[in-house]
Amino acid sequence: MVNFIIRDEEGIRKFDKCTLISEEDFSSLSKIKINILLELDKKPMYISELSEKLKLNEQNIYYHIKQLMPYLEVVDEKKIRGTTARKFKPKTMNFCLSLSKKYKDISLMDLELNKGNMKSHSFFFPFISDGKFNAKIIVGSPDPHGKYKARARDGHYATDLALYLGSFCSQTNQFAVALDTDVNLESEDNLVIVGGPVTNLLMNRINDALPVKFVEEGHWAIKGKKDTYTDDNIGLIARIPNPINEGMILVVAGLRFSGTKSAVIALTRQTKLLLNHFSSQNNFYAIVQGFDLDADGKIDNIELLESM
């Protein structure tokens, strides 16, 4: 079994192999042994070469090499005057003393490593619970359906959202995504609804339970507490108790498909900004507007317009 050590260097996560050692072995890692490992890590060497490099007699080097054998591997051998000389290199350069017996499932690793942002953990609960995805992502059907006979054009944005959520949890045996035409709201608990009320039937059903709502007044808009928004790039992220069942509902939707994209970008790329006013309340919303900052015709950034 190979063990690994994970480090965070200026926000970049890096890993390397490591060797678990006992308390006794840990205490025996003297300065000489550490110097031997450092030199062998630079270049595999024979004992005679190590002796010359460290200015220590060969018998002394041999004594320490013998104790380090569990952490070394032989990369070459040669016969010298009837004896076998071996060239060594370290198996790893990381040694971990582990006194804990309370190891957690690997699926919880990202949650542990990101504990500094407790808001996001609270925000995504119970959709993610105990390192597992505990919800269903609902996208609008691409076929004409519902009162408006609309085709959903934003379902593919759920892929980006799922990739982000997947970094916090492990895969389950259940299929995580369903079409709005295939889901009975009365039989579901935790839902992640992607898309607005025109193209997603479930979004249409729970619209009145939202802290701010999609409204149709000649044209569709999001009626916030500060203003009413009609731009195509306006998106809404909301977190509410399920009004039909137990559980929670997370809404990631827009006035048009570009608005849904804005909402997905806000949730997955600018989470810290988005959750600035979130304090574990059951009802939360944020209205965002997407912008194309690099002028390539695609939304790549968002501005937070309202939040609760």
Tell me the pLDDT of the chain (308 aa) as tens digits. 678 887 777 656 678 888 888 777 777 778 888 999 999 999 999 999 999 999 999 999 999 999 888 889 999 988 877 788 899 999 888 888 888 777 766 655 555 555 445 677 778 888 887 778 888 888 888 898 888 888 888 878 788 888 888 777 777 777 888 887 888 878 888 888 888 888 888 888 888 988 998 888 778 888 889 998 888 889 899 998 888 888 888 889 888 888 888 888 888 888 888 888 888 788 889 898 888 777 787 877 878 898 88
What are the pLDDT digits (tens) for 246-268? Answer: 888 888 988 888 888 888 888 88
Domains of the chain with bracketed CATH: 3-97 (1.10.10.10), 106-307 (3.30.379.10)
Q: What is the 3-state secondary structure (H, E, C) of the chain?
A: CCEEEEEEECCEEEEEEEEEECHHHHHCCCHHHHHHHHHHHHCCEEHHHHHHHHCCCHHHHHHHHHHHHHHEEEEEEEEECCEEEEEEEECCCCEEECCCCCCCCHHHHHHHHCCCCHHHHHHCCCCEECCEECCEEEECCCCCECCCCECCCCCCHHHHHHHHHHCCCECCCCCCEEEHHHCCHHHCCCEEEECCCCCCHHHHHHHHHCCCEEEECCCEEEECCCCEECCCCEEEEEEEECCCCCCEEEEEEECCHHHHHHHHHHHHHCHHHHCCCCCCCCCEEEEEEEECCCCCCCCCEEEEEEEC
pTM, entire model? 0.63
pLDDT value of position 44: 93
Q: What percent of the chain has pLDDT over 90?
A: 9
